[in-house]
Structure 1
Amino acid sequence: MSNNTESNIPVKFTENSNNEWINWIEEAIAKDYFKYYELNQFTNFQEIGVGGFGKVYRAKWKSSPYYLALKSFFNCNNVTIKEIVKELKIQREVDFHENIIRFCGIATENQVDNSKKYLLVMEYANGGTLREYLKKHFDNLTWNNKSNMAFQLACAILCLHDEGIIHRDLHSKNVLVHQNIVKLADFGLSKRIEESSNLSSTKLFGMVPYIDPKSFSNQDYKLNKKSDIYSIGILLWEISSGNPPFDTEGKPNDVCLAINISQGLRETPIPDTPEDYVNIYADCWNNEPDNRPTINQVVFKLNAIILKNNNMIIDDIRTNDSCTNQLSSKQQLDLNAFEDPINTSS
């Protein structure tokens, strides 16, 4: 458990009973380990997302002027409940990080068979998904903006990896943006539900460009930290371009794309992309996992780009005899805050 989080949430359980995972949630609610929300106290529901296993709504809580997000699931069977519990346990380890969407609590909805449907109540991100945000705002983004977005994303993954957590399902639809700050939205919940249910993915080939290509050629290959690094490389390219990788204008990516990627196909760098930035994502999407950097190295190099850009801004300010330096404290990051990438272990 993270030293940054104190909690008495029950951590021991068995898998012998179909109700074990429900009991875990009910105990956590009963003992106020996290907040319980009455569903009828929400108003102004609006669907903002849908996936293979559920929907996401935004709604206002009581008289608050602010929105919260509610994540619901189509089928709250034992498999889904088990994976929800795992998601909550992961969330509590990293909930302190500003680049990870906050977990607020649980709401329930009674079903016709007297069972309960559980909904996760989360921080609402007003900028939508990273994909939506880039589509809407890309023309107004400077390279400073893009570098900072990439840095924030990498910091979120650094937090996960420091806690021994592998995401395994990174793409631009589960990275959110709130008030221009990148927020990681989940920790591979849908992927775990899919795998635990022994379902063939209906969305796999929509996300092929983000998946570690080693898994295409080796069915026994287990996604790992270096798989997250590969996905980050693709996302860094997407931030630089404003477009999804290998975008086919709504047509699904197919097996041919997976084969081509596993044989080395990659997107082309966007003109005028800083060389240092290109080098980072090219290293990340290396076909060989052992040749990819660690997340510490990615953070270190992105931070160096930001500091370099800031020094250029400072020089411009001094040249123009400006009296104030209004650089954001989030941009003035000390390189010593991160390990030397040469000595960083995977």
Structure 2
Amino acid sequence: MQNTNECINWIEEAITKDYIRLYEHKYFSNIEKIGIGGFGKVYRASWRNSEQYFALKSFFNLDNVIAKEIVHELKLQHDIQFHNNIIKFYGVVKFDPENGDVQSKNYLLVMEYADSGTLKNYLKENFNILTWNDKYNLACQLACAHSGNVLVHQNIIKLSDFGLSKRIESSSNTQSKLFGIIPYVDPKRFGGRRKNKNSTQKYSLNEKSDVYSVGVFFWEISSGQPPFYVDLALEISQGLREDPIPDTPEDYIKIYTGT
């Protein structure tokens, strides 16, 4: 668990040097769990009993891999601040939000709270009132974000992290739960292997893969729903695509089809 201790030491040293702000737990109230994933939980908390909210991100089982990735995430979050399309990182707080235990050794990330949740939920709740200008605006913001970790706050697309959960899954050698994300992944990833001289290797995702993923999100914004209804890895890898939604402006279609 050496890396875990190094993670804690790095955080505490960063706090001492004012590199990262440490919040007092007493200022957070009305704590509500709003999300859970394979690597941790996310809570919504009021700030000083006001209507201002923060998101608190916790992590399961702070093992060597997760500890290393958390430090990597903290460094990125600290270095890339104040971009309008990135969820803001404010600092850390040390307590257990489940029982209020202030003796807990676990740190939580204090993040900007996105009031409309995920892009999927936002479209579900607001699609009927979105104009094409609204959809163009969301698409342009998403092009800047270049990520599937997309939230919406006050009608603004927000990148929620820098692929932390994806890196943890990859580093931990866990089986990725692809059922919900297959339509967003570059189809070449499902095409098996490609030859490299005398050896073979899996296709590596790259910048073109990001462009493909963003294009799928553009289609989702135009339709108001995620693409496909089941996981169709084989069919997608063989060229299956969703058709443009009727009445979609030609200029918008060109954005995500490149035609």
Q: Same fold (TM over 0.5)?
A: yes
1:175 alignment counterpart: 150
1:268 to 223, 238, 243: 243
Q: Deviations over 1:91-138 (max 9, x none)?
A: 2333221011111111123699x8722211100111111100000000
Alpha-carbon shift at residue 87 of structure 1 (Å):
1.1
Determine helix, strand or coil for the equivalent of 2:78.
helix
Instruction: Supply the distance in 1 between the matched residues of 2:219 and 2:153 (Cα, whole angstroms).
Output: 21
Q: Which residue of 2 aligns with 1:208?
A: 182
TM-score by length of 2: 0.88
Q: Distance in 1 between matches of 2:3 and 2:156?
A: 41
> Structure 1 pair 16/225, CA: closer, same or farther in 2 (3 Å)?
farther
User: Which has more strand, going by share of residues?
Assistant: 2
Residues 1:21 and 2:11 are matched in the alignment:
no
Residues 17 and 129 of structure 1: CA distance in aligned 2, closer, same or farther (over 3 Å): closer
For residues 91-110 of structure 1, the aligned pairs below 5 Å read: 91-109=77-95
Question: Does the C-alpha gap of structure 1 residues 93 and 18 become closer, same or farther in structure 2, counting only changes over 3 Å?
Answer: closer
Letter in 1 for 2:52: Y
Amino acid across the alignment from 1:47: K
Whether 1:241 and 2:241 are equivalent positions in the alignment is no
- 1:76·1:118 contact (CA, 8 Å) conserved in 2? no
Q: Aligned partners of 1:23, 1:44: CA distance in 2, in Å?
A: 30
List runs of 5+ in structure 1 lacking aligned partners. Answer: 1-14, 158-169, 285-346
Match of 1:190 among 165, 172, 185: 165
The yes-or-no answer on 1:128 pairing with 2:128 is no
What is aligned with 1:222? 204
Change (3 A) 1:17 1:128: closer
Distance of aligned partners of 1:134 and 1:17 in 2 relative to their CA distance in 1, 3 Å threshold: closer
Q: Could you tell me which residue of structure 1 aligns to residue 213 of structure 2?
A: 231
Structure-2 residue corresponding to 1:336: none
The superposition leaves residues 51-91 of structure 1 with CA deviations (integer Å, 9 ceiling, x where unpaired) of: 11111111012243300001111222221111111112222
Q: Tell me the amino acid that sits aligned with residue 197 of structure 1.
A: S
Aligned to 1:82, the other structure's residue is in SS state: helix
1:1-346 matched pairs, under 5 angstroms = 17-109=3-95, 116-157=105-146, 170-171=147-148, 174-201=149-176, 203-217=177-191, 218=193, 220-248=202-230, 253=231, 257-283=232-258
> Aligned letter for 1:147?
Y
SS of 1:107's equivalent in the other structure is: strand
**Distance (whole Å) between structure 1 residues aligned to residue 212 and residue 107 of structure 2:** 33
- Alpha-carbon shift at residue 193 of structure 1 (Å): 0.7
Query: What do residues 270-289 of structure 1 show as CA deviations (whole Å, max 9, x unaligned)?
Result: 001111211221239xxxxx
Aligned to 1:165: none
Q: 1:70 to 1:115 in 2, by over 3 A?
A: closer
Determine helix, strand or coil for the equivalent of 1:58.
Answer: strand
Q: CA deviation at 1:22?
A: 2.2
* Aligned-residue offset at 1:17: 4.9
Aligned counterparts of 2:76 and 2:184: Cα–Cα separation in 1: 22
What is the Cα-based RMSD across aligned positions, in Å?
Answer: 2.2
Unpaired segments of 5 or more residues in structure 2?
194-200
Comparing 23-32 with 261-270, which one deviates more in the overlay? 23-32
Moved more, 34-43 or 81-90: 34-43
Please list the CA deviations of residues 214-255 of structure 1 after superposition, one character each: whole Å capped at 9, or x if unmatched. 21123522222222111100000000000011134xxxx2xx
- Structure 1 residue ranges (4+ consecutive) displaced by more than 6 angstroms after TM superposition: none
Residue 76 of structure 2 aligns with an amino acid whose one-letter code is I
Report the Cα distance in structure 1 between the residues aligned to 2:2 and 2:126, rounded to whole angstroms. 50
The equivalent of 1:167 in structure 2 is none
Distance 2:3 2:180 in 1: 36
Give % identity.
63
SS at match of 2:165: helix
Partner of 1:128, secondary structure, is: coil
Distance 1:36 1:279, change over 3 A: same
Contact 2:45 2:53 in 1 (8 A): yes
Structure 1 residues 233 and 130: alpha-carbon distance in aligned structure 2, compared to 1, 3 A threshold: same
Partner of 1:206: helix, strand, or coil? coil
